[in-house]
Structure 1
Amino acid sequence: MSTQKKGTSLVDLVAGGTAGLFEALCCHPLDTVKVRMQLYKKSGQKPPGFIKTGINIAQKEGFLSLYKGLGAVVIGIVPKMALRFSSYEFYRSLLYAPDGSITTGNTFIAGVGAGITEAVLVVNPMEVVKIRLQAQHHSMADPLDVPKYRNAPHAAYVIAKEEGFKTFYRGVSLTAARQATNQGVNFTVYSKIKEFLQGYHQTDVLPSWETSLIGLLSGALGPLSNAPLDTIKTRLQKTTYASNESGMVRIVKIGRQLIKEEGTAALYKGITPRIMRVAPGQAVTFTVYEFIKDKLTGDSPVAAVTKKLA
């Protein structure tokens, strides 16, 4: 169990947004590789691995192509982080015991609530734009190769104009399920390992390298729990045509078609770069968050983060 701790929302906003920005800058190429692997259609040849996929993108489209869709991520990262931490704290506040403690189960529920909240309000619209940009096979090194979507704002404008605003919520149920499991697992695993290490060291303040390792591990477990959801979501959000079918019907249809044509293993396409994206991303997030929080408050950064996520 852990005890109640009030946070400072403005500091959390600035530190979390900055941490998210650095995470995106460091790890976005792996996300682009993951999306391309998930969109790869079976052609009789062995699908390229994540290293070959990344090399092919850099060679054929230019190195900067690995950062396609980064604008959509950066635009959404500050409200995403703000919502994640503030909503997590809000849901936790509803689940505290009278003595100010909270159980592991309620920590998981708070994380699930935070994941659903950020998915609906920020993540899904952002990812629709990001995936459209990442799916474009054009060379950023060739000025004559003009893409349909020039950047994130332009992509959002074109999508809304041609397909309607509701397109930004295509696959939202899958995104919500993915974010819910991600944050539920992330916050729960983080807090339990932190509690164990605090007891082992007999201190509330953990070394920063231990905090980073905890983030690395907790960040890796989320993708393993929901890889099929993420793959189907990517296929669904990539489509540009309108459909009168319900979201659930299309989700089931895409899943069945994927398994029929490419096998069950296709549901786990891109899992390696996704883990490589999310796990170190969590480590980067916690490290930068701690540094910025320390500069803004003068408090012990590790103590601030670990107490917040307990």
Structure 2
Amino acid sequence: MSAKSVKGEGGKKPATAAVNLIAGGGAGMMEALVCHPLDTIKVRMQLSTRARAPGTKKRGFYQTGKEIVKRETAFGLYKGLGAVLSGIVPKMAIRFTSYEWYKQALADKNGVVTSKATFFAGLGAGVTEAVAVVTPMEVVKIRMQAQYHSLSDPLDVPKYRSAPHAALTVIKEEGFGALYRGVSLTALRQGTNQAVNFTAYTEFKSILQKAQPQYDNKNLPAYQTTLIGLVSGAMGPFSNAPIDTIKTRLQKTPAEPGQSAITRIVNITNAMFKQEGPRAFYKGITPRVMRVAPGQAVTFTVYEFLKKKLEDSSLPFTGGKYEE
């Protein structure tokens, strides 16, 4: 399909919600399985306070990962994966479905979508997924990833034994609202991420389609989709790394009684700046880029592949009819 049109490949109608659900869910699941260890390392680096101790050398990406494997076995890198997998299908379904909906709403009468419209469609999709799925999923994920316990020692019983147990424990001890701690920062992060991500991906795809007339109004080869997904995916983290770091610390710990979210955000920001310096806001940027960039490469490649397969099939929920 054309990068800047709401019509499907060869003039077909846009993909149905069911197609976006299945293709997006499959893409998200593959992304999580491949990239989750990098996310765990990123979270541990963001939560690290080693820089506060005088003379203590901070751990880098490799050392952090090595320490996790040494103390908690390789399975420690997959802590919180259950929370991610349980939310990945609705997350990706909401992301791609809402993005396509916003894109169609912002398209002109000829079905053409401008770069500005693409940006706002991505922004809307990111905020939508943050409120609907991502925030509670990340609260649970971060609580589990932050646990320093050995998976090889049966006597070392963690506070949160699984994603459902973590969610229930948080609700029981802190109330249901605790699952939405940091929702404003998460929405800001997801919104900017997807705005940049979809805009860059669409622009790169459009350039490649124009340079290769044989792919005009058709999907690009998988390797090209992977490449532009990788590049576009790397852009978001650099634009909002401080937001992500503050959000991670906010979601890790319970709120103090009577303390508002804004107060906590300000306190966390001030403490980080005074005790760890401005570089602390970019803690975990290396594993985050290494997590998000290939993650988006996997997501776009698998999504485009599954979407085309579904649209070419004769399944009743795929739509796939040509416009009159």
- Specify which of 119, 128, 139 is matched with residue 108 of structure 1: 119
TM-score, normalization: structure 1? 0.94
SS of the residue 2:65 aligns to: helix
Q: Which residue of 1 aligns with 2:286?
A: 272
Q: Which residue of 2 aligns with 1:84?
A: 95
Query: Do the aligned partners of 1:108 and 1:184 also contact (CA within 8 Å) in 2?
Result: yes
Q: Which region of structure 1 is more displaced relative to structure 2, 100-109 or 147-156?
A: 100-109
Q: Which residue of 1 aligns with 2:261?
A: 247
Measure how far apart 1:144 and its partner are.
0.9
Q: Which residue of 2 aligns with 1:304?
A: none
AA at the equivalent of 1:260: K
* Separation in structure 2 between the aligned mates of residue 2 and residue 64 of structure 1, nearest angstrom: 42
Measure how far apart 1:8 and its partner are.
2.1
- Specify which of 297, 302, 314 is matched with residue 283 of structure 1: 297
* Separation in structure 2 between the aligned mates of residue 74 and residue 46 of structure 1, nearest angstrom: 35
Q: Which residue of 2 aligns with 1:185?
A: 196
Identity over aligned pairs, percent: 61
Q: Which residue of 2 aligns with 1:135?
A: 146
- Specify which of 27, 39, 63 is matched with residue 35 of structure 2: 27
Query: Do the aligned partners of 1:215 and 1:282 also contact (CA within 8 Å) in 2?
Result: yes
Question: What value does the CA root-mean-square deviation take over the aligned residues?
Answer: 1.5
Q: Which residue of 1 aligns with 2:106?
A: 95
Q: Could you list the per-position Cα deviations for residues 102-146 of structure 1 after superposition, in whole angstroms to 9, with x for gaps in the alignment?
A: 211111001000000000110000000000000000001111110
Structure 1 gaps, min length 5: 300-310
Measure how far apart 1:294 and its partner are.
4.0
Superposed counterparts of 1:1-310, under 5 Å: 2-5=4-7, 6-41=14-49, 42=51, 43-44=53-54, 45-202=56-213, 203-204=215-216, 205=218, 206-298=220-312
Q: Which region of structure 1 is more displaced relative to structure 2, 36-45 or 179-188?
A: 36-45
* Separation in structure 1 between the aligned mates of residue 113 and residue 273 of structure 2, nearest angstrom: 41
Change (3 A) 1:22 1:132: same
* Separation in structure 2 between the aligned mates of residue 32 and residue 7 of structure 1, nearest angstrom: 34
AA at the equivalent of 1:211: T
Q: Could you list the per-position Cα deviations for residues 261-296 of structure 1 after superposition, in whole angstroms to 9, with x for gaps in the alignment?
A: 000000000000000000000111122223333443
Query: Do the aligned partners of 1:182 and 1:223 also contact (CA within 8 Å) in 2?
Result: yes
Measure how far apart 1:243 and its partner are.
3.5
* Separation in structure 2 between the aligned mates of residue 94 and residue 290 of structure 1, nearest angstrom: 21
Measure how far apart 1:89 and its partner are.
1.4
Query: Do the aligned partners of 1:163 and 1:242 also contact (CA within 8 Å) in 2?
Result: no
Aligned residue pairs total 300
AA at the equivalent of 2:36: H
SS of the residue 2:197 aligns to: helix
* Separation in structure 2 between the aligned mates of residue 232 and residue 167 of structure 1, nearest angstrom: 16
TM-score, normalization: structure 2? 0.90
